[in-house]
Amino acid sequence: MLTGVTLVTGDLAAQEAGVVPATIRKWAQLGHLRPSGQQGRSHLYRLEDVFAAERATRRAPRRKAFAAAPAAAPGPAPHG
């Protein structure tokens, strides 16, 4: 048994990580997060593990498209 370690439910883990509970379940399903205990039918997680899973799955920041868009080349002259 773990001593001195605080375990939290998936719902509280999600709240602390700023995600929805389904994300916690998905991280566990994908192997990014492993339960450290169980309370009834609920899995319990160490917050340290939850934050590590969040860092491992975090996406890179998106760039603004307008800043990197090249100038359009002029097209052919209209016939007329």
**Interval 24-74: pLDDT, tens:** 999 999 999 999 999 999 999 999 999 999 998 886 555 555 555 555 666
Task: Kindly report the pTM of this predicted structure.
Answer: 0.67
Angstrom distance (rounded) from CA 31 to CA 16: 19
Q: Which two tokens stand for residue 8?
A: 């939290």
